[in-house]
Amino acid sequence: MRLKDKVAIITGGSRGIGFATADKFLKEGASVVLAASSQESADVAVDKLKEKYPNAIVAGISPNLASMESVRKAFKEATEKYGCVDILVNNAGISENTSFMDYTEETFDKVMDLNVKGVFNTTRVAAECMVARGKGVILSTSSMVSISGQPSGFAYPASKFAVNGLTVSLARELGPKGIRVNAVAPGITETDMMKAVPKEVIEPMIERIPLRRLGQPEDIANAFVFLASDEASYITGVILSVDGMARS
């Protein structure tokens, strides 16, 4: 098992890509603490995973990721129970498609608070014990639109550009301290949100993807497992596109 005896915290871990990543990490032997927007959501996800992996260590937390104090308190409680975090996966995020001229300061702040400030807060807190031990892995979910942009909802690609900048910069700064920092940039992925999109909308999208299919949450989770494992021990500062070449 590639992640045996590792402790991982995964934000946005109650559904979609985050839940698939928690599942794969548990399968690979990690202990997983998943963070969700509510404790109820976290508990439901934990129950599902415990049913599948009855002997695994899996727990749920629900800090306000936009608050450093809230993150610090939740992570402290988790690490006191399960040990210093070896792997952080910053997956929590929100997207929306408001046109630029309709954008408000509140909408912009809502996206940035979770997608950028949230990543900073969790990374800053998790990095403390990683630096002290001289090892660790920090991973984040970016997006294909961090490369290609999108025609509306500009704050989402802007936030993912920021995640890419954080990833590359921290790879340089934290590399000498034994910490690898990478990101995965998913393409159009068949999450619950996409399953609600009408077939007549989905089919033209698939036709524009060279691999002729939507991504699955497991495709992204597989990339996170690889980047978290020792197989990627000489990989840092990478934004790994997992999108079937949809970005082109």
What is the set of active-site residues? 156
The amino acid sitting at 36 is A
Q: What are phi and psi of 33, to 5 degrees?
A: -115, 115
Angle at the Cα of 17 (from 118 to 153), degrees rounded to 5? 60
Rounded distance between C-alpha atoms, residue 162 and residue 184, angstroms = 13
Q: What are phi and psi of 9, to 5 degrees?
A: -115, 130
Taking a C-beta distance cutoff of 8 angstroms, is the pair 56, 49 a contact? yes
The amino acid sitting at 48 is K
β-sheet bridge partners, residue 138: 88, 181
- How many helices (H) and strands (E) in the chain? 10, 7
| The 3-state secondary structure of 178-207, one letter per residue | CEEEEEEEECCECCHHHHCCCHHHHHHHHH
Q: CA 74, 79, 85, 89 torsion: positive or negative? A: negative
